[in-house]
Amino acid sequence: MNQPQLLSILLVAGMMGAFLWGRIRYDIVAMLALLLAVALGLVPAADAFKGFSDDIVIIVGSALVLSAAVARSRVIERLFSKLGSGLASTQLQVTLLVVVVAVMSAIIKNIGALAMMLPIAYQLARKGGKSPSVFLMPMAFASLLGGIVTLVGTSPNVIVARVRQELGGEPFGMFDFTPVGIVVALAGCAFLSVAYRLLPSDRRGAVSLDQAIDIKDYLTEASVHEKSALAGKTVADLKTISGGGVEIASILRDKRRVQAPLPDAVLRVGDTLLLRGDAAVLERVVAEGGLHLTGKDRPTQKDDALDPDQIAEAIIGPDSVLIGQSAGDMGLHARFGVNMIAISRSGERFGQRLRDIRLRAGDIVVIQGDEKLLPEKLGELGLLPLADRLVPLGSTRRVVLTLTITLAAIIALAAGLAPVPLVFFAAAVLLIACRCLPLREAYQSIDAPILLMLAALIPVSDSLRTTGTTELFAAWLATIGGGLPGWAAVSLILVAAMAVTPFLNNAATVLVMAPIGAGFATKLGYNPDAFLMAVAIGAACDFLTPIGHQCNTLVMGPGGYRFSDYARLGAPLSLLVLLLAVPMILLVWPLR
């Protein structure tokens, strides 16, 4: 062992120790490791930042934008919410959720797929009087299983494809992971559909900021136009869309007011509806019913605005100029360049139009305006921003265009029409340019810590190869597993990747373990493809802790889970993955 190899081993050991310690965030650990590698001479100064221009950073960042756009369209939620509510038994509901999440995770990044389906799980739990803990962990595990089916489902697959290219081969394609991944995913989903009973069913999840604020009684105003899906339909049809979560306070028609209309009352073109309910449910009714939100068409944006239609939720302060005034009296749009699109007042149910309501201190209003000017305007009006949380009411969703761009990207990837980074980047740019995803939300969707970690670890990972450290690790593994049969050697790599992932992060695990696995295979005289696949599956399937993958972390608070709960369901699932993945890998990717 020479000095560079010793330094590399110490660096990797220290980095893994810092990850395990957990006191310093993983992206900071990765950047410190990069600086130390440069200082020790393991990474040339000229190569220190080459990771920032690496294709993997573009692919992962663009995939996050793509997932955010699909999530914003809420097309998946619309497709499966009614189906889920029609299933009576808990087992059927769990089965539906895990299968849908797994299928979605094969198409878009698994964290995005899980986030899209969480509202459905909450809805089913609430209607059935069950704890969300019954659904959330199986869904998180299903998202990890679905991610291993295609190239785009999870970051480890993309990174392994890159490692294979660096080894002199062609990068793995879109569906090279499918034969192994689909068998493991199907078996895992079948297991989760039954084994969810291993989880505690009485846990109470943490209350989120949105739940703590819990404003359920907004009043907004929307009109029915010729192309509205609700034109000619009844009040009952509107309530069906909302799931009973929206009430029509009144209908304004031909200068007449119809108070508390009956369920069979027909909605006509030109009607103005005063709608009352939760902001998210109101948004769904407006979007799916094709209604026109009053005031939203009045322009507020500047040409260079990131988000021309930013929505803010604010409280009318005690010194606000709006107190005692109505929006119509104040001329909010003409004087201040903002629109008031909803209002809520504790203990009071409005019957008049938005523009006619006399405002009081303590009222909560939803204001639309230009993102650059809105903070200043809120201050001028004496409005206090309530919280930095998403208020979907007033946002625009371009469902068909989002799906068209997403499907085009998938077809281009499957057919190999263009390089993977270019396809992902083009899809992300088109979604933003076509306003399927506001630029502000696009930037928010990009997980900067993950991208920084990847960019910093790529040169460090390469240094393991250039100093011969990966060959040294591979030689040690070959000594340990030299007498093992091929299936046992593949199993060893898969188990090692599973063991390291909870402490190193799955993307970092692949960057470190993939070169070692490939070197191990070469030492034993085997084709490295099987070992690379084992690394990808092992790194993607962390079912034992809440810290190894974002999906597991995402459900811990809402599900009220403890650290030990993950092993209850995750340990047998990990064993199942090991027993199925190894023979499937050897079948699809022969060792010789």
The pLDDT of residue 534: 94
Cα-based angle 440, 119, 97 (whole degrees, multiple of 5): 120
Per-residue pLDDT tens over the stretch 529-542: 999 999 999 988 88
Which stretch of 114-118, 336-340, 495-499 has the lowest confidence by average pLDDT? 114-118
Q: Does residue 20 carry a pLDDT above 60?
A: yes
- Which pair of structure tokens corresponds to residue 318? 């005690």
- Average confidence score pLDDT of the chain: 81
pTM value is 0.61
Number of H helices, E strands in the chain: 24, 9
CA distance 77 to 228: 21
| The dihedral formed by the CA atoms of 146, 461, 67 and 400, expressed in degrees to the nearest 10 | -100
Q: Between 453 and 324, where is the model more confident?
A: 324
The pLDDT of residue 207: 45
The Cα-based distances of 554 to 114, 194, 569 in angstroms read 9, 22, 17
Contacts of 32 (CB under 8 A, 6+ apart): 18, 24
Enter the DSSP assignment of 419.
Answer: -
* CA-closest candidate to residue 85, choices 143, 126, 138, 131: 126
Query: Is the distance from CB of 219 to CB of 248 less than 8 angstroms?
Result: no
Domains, the chain: 64-151+184-207+398-445 (no CATH), 217-277 (3.30.70.1450), 310-385 (3.30.70.1450)
CA distance 171 to 173: 6
Strands (E), 208-338: 218-223, 246-253, 256-259, 272-277, 292-293, 310-316
pLDDT winner (highest mean) among 17-31, 202-216, 330-344, 517-531: 517-531
Per-residue pLDDT tens over the stretch 295-336: 665 655 554 444 456 777 888 888 888 888 888 888 887 888
The pLDDT of residue 537: 94
HEC assignment per residue over 166-190 = HCCCCCCCCCCCHHHHHHHHHHHHH
- Percentage of residues in the chain with pLDDT exceeding 90? 16
Average pLDDT rounded to a whole number, residues 67-77 = 70
CA distance 588 to 520: 19
Confidence of residue 353 (pLDDT cuts 50, 70, 90): confident
Write phi, then psi, for 146 (nearest 5 degrees): -65, -30
Q: Is 484 helix (H, G, I), strand (E, B) or coil?
A: coil
Per-residue pLDDT tens over the stretch 42-55: 889 988 898 888 77
Q: How many CB atoms lie within 10 A of CB 204?
A: 11
Which stretch of 73-87, 116-130, 297-311, 549-563 has the lowest confidence by average pLDDT? 297-311
Per-residue pLDDT tens over the stretch 232-246: 999 888 888 777 778
* CA-closest candidate to residue 81, choices 333, 375, 281: 281
